[in-house]
Structures are given as C-alpha cells and as structure tokens.
Amino acid sequence: MGTKEQRAERSYLLEVWRDKYLNNLKFTKDSDPIYHHPHINRILYALNTLFILMLIHDEMSVETLEGFLAERQWLQPKENIEQLSKAGEGNMNVVVKVQTDQRSFILKQSREYVQKYQDIPAPIERIAVEKAFYIAVSNKKLQAHFPRILGYDKDAHVLYMEDLGDCKDMTFLYHQRTIPKNQLDALVKVLYKIHTSEAPGDFPQNMEMRTLNHQHIFVLPFLEDNGFSLDTVQQGLQDLAAPYKRNTALKSVIAGLGNKYLSQGDTLLHGDYYPGSWMSKNEEVYVLDPEFGFVGFPEFDLGVMAAHLIMATHERRYLDTLGKTYPGPFDKHLVAQLAGVEIMRRLIGLAQLPLERSIQEKQALLAMAEELILSK
C-alpha cells in the first residue's frame, strides 16, 4: 500500500495521465517520465481497465470526473458539472457532492485505508457491504430514511447516490446535551425496522471490517501501551485511563464481548449506529454509513446507541428508555455491557468524538462505563 505520501503521489500521477487520456494527448514511453515510475505496472493496469482505480475527490478536474461519469452513463444528456464539494466529514470514505446544471448527487468511494487516518489500512470492499445494506432496507417501511442508490461501480468501489439535501449530522447532540423525544423515537423506530428487515442469504459477513472494528472497540483502547498518548487529546486523560487499562477483570469481560461481536447472528445490523451516522433535516431523520453492517445480534446496535445518548446527556436512564421504546426483544444486561465498552473506547481510544467535556465529567463517564461492563 505504501505510505500516505506514496499513495498521494500515485494518485496525482494517475490523474495527470488520465487527463492526457481524456484529452487524447499523445505520449510515448521515451517522452513520458511516468513510464519510469516504480509503480508503473499498477498505473498501467488502472488505465487499461478504464478508470478502475479512479480516485475521486472534491478538487479533481471537472473534465476528468465528467469522463468517468459519462463512461457509466451516470450523467444525463447535455448535463454539465458546475461544482464539486466535500460532503460532510467522513471518517472511512471519500464522499463528494456533485452539483450539475440540472441537479445534485453524491459519489462515495472506499479506499484501501481509512480516509481520516490514512495510515490505518481498511478493506476496500466495504463499499459493497454498504450497497448490500441499502438494498436490504429498500422497502416501504424504511426507504424514506435512507438515500436511494442510483448506481454502483464494483471495480471502482464507487456508489452513486441520491443527495439528501441540506442535512446535518447529529453530532450536535454532544454539544446540545439533549435529544428531542420525537427524534429519539424516530431513530429507535428506524433501528427496529432495520433489525426486522430480511437480509439476503448472501449478505456479506464483512469479517475484515468487523476485525478492524473489533480491534478499535475491544482491544486497542485497553492496551497499556498502544502508541497513542491520550494527553494529546486532553491533558490528564492518560492518567485517568491507566487504571482501566490495568484492570484484568474488566479486560476479561471486554474480551468476551469482543468474541461475541465477531460471532454470526440472525439480525441485520447497521454496525455503527451513533450520531455521526444520523442525519437530520427539519423534522426528518436519516441514517447513513452502514459499511460496518453485518448479520449479528441486535444488542450491539442498541448498546452503541445507548452509549452515545449517555455520553451526550450524562444520563444513564437512556438504557431504560430504549428498553421501553424498542419494540423487539433483547438482552438488557448485554446492551448495558456493550454501552459501557462503547463509552470507554470513545473516551480512551483512537476514535475520539467531538465531545467537549472536562476531565471530571469524563472521569464520571468512565466510572459509569466500568460499572455497566462489570454489572451482573
């Protein structure tokens, strides 16, 4: 895969050569220095398979992208791109909003690494899981809460999707410290409808993404030396986390929960059901980014949801609220334990949140999380 700098160089060289290709410029092996690049075989393969490794981003040339879209018949006749912009702060993938003279739409592409942390490898096939999930929930009960899939290129790892318009993700809940009842009820209802949707028999196991997620939820945050200094997040957080990283009884329970996460279940899961995946516009809520989806057990989604409601509000009662509003059966004790793990890993792991809290507030949340994990 190479370093971040090597990947950036290959991306740049690929785009330069594609521009030549699209504009029918002539070049030869003797005159074009790209032929002497150490990754020439990979570059030639990409070109010879018509943009299979097209790297989409919001600063690419319009002409290059129009060629890519026209090749797939994703542009209408005489439709022209007017503007490209970044569509939100995606962690895993590149997401670009395309504004044309007729409409707007979204292009989403997975890479062989995590977009926000490009030194972390990630399975590039995750976009296929996202497509499979959207197809599984494309029923009358749910379609109003998800973007429509307009096209998919398996080889380029690109989804062509409906633009939901002027939405904002619901990470504002961490600042707001409360969630309106109507939004909470809607999100619980959507989650239940996901869980009761029938996943096809060939739905991807998504084991590579689950393995990656398993490391960042159940393993890395609890290593005493994981190479990540929490004091770079907030002074004093490293010392605050130390007792939990040394607690063998706590880590043993977490390891068991991690093994369960990797097991197969019978319920379609979103896999990352938290405010960064929730969108709101006026009174409507939408759900995005199901690339961690798999067929598992409903308590995982419910535990993650409960954890983020607790972190936003500092109110443990949301565990009981979910118990009363979620229509399906579930193990409340397991949900509480998973909520505790999610709280801890978000406070002392790499995947930090836009959660502005004092050390004292984080101390209280960590103590609550420990109690939830070790509860009998």
SS3 letters across 273-335: CCHHHEEEECCEEEECCCCCCEEECHHHHHHHHHHHHHHHHCCCCHHHHHHHHCCCCCCHHHH
pLDDT tens digit sequence for 161-194 = 999 998 999 999 999 999 999 999 999 999 999 9
**Domains identified in the chain, total number:** 2
Print the domain residue range for 367: 168-374
Do 324 and 242 sit in the same domain of this protein? yes
Same domain? For 149 and 181 the reply is no
pLDDT digits (tens, 9 = 90+) for 84-97: 998 876 678 889 99
Do 192 and 149 share a structural domain? no
SS3 236: coil
- Judge if 143 and 191 occupy the same domain: no
CATH number at 29 reads: 3.30.200.20
**pLDDT for the residue numbered 92:** 85
- φ, ψ of residue 97 to 5 degrees: the values are -95, 125
DSSP conformational letter for 242: H
The predicted model gives 44-64 an average pLDDT of 61
- What is the structure's pLDDT at 43? 53
Judgement on whether residues 122 and 248 belong to the same structural domain of the protein: no
Last residue of a domain, which of 114, 130, 161?
161
Q: Which of 130, 161, 192 is the last residue of a domain?
A: 161
Q: What are the structure tokens assigned to 362, written together?
A: 């984080």
User: Is residue 214 located within the same domain as residue 353?
Assistant: yes
* pLDDT band at residue 7 under the 50/70/90 scheme: low
**155 and 191 inside one domain:** no
| Least confident span in 34-38, 139-143, 257-261 | 34-38
Asked if residue 369 and residue 267 are part of one domain, the reply reads: yes
- Other beta carbons less than 10 A from residue 237's beta carbon: 20
Please count the CA atoms within 13 angstroms of the CA of 52 that sit on its side-chain side.
11
Domain boundary among 100, 127, 161: 161
Give the mean pLDDT of 198-203: 93
pLDDT at 267: 97
Question: Has residue 77 got a pLDDT over 80?
Answer: yes
Task: Looking at the structure, tell me whether residues 286 and 232 fall in a common domain.
Answer: yes
* CATH number, position 192: 3.90.1200.10
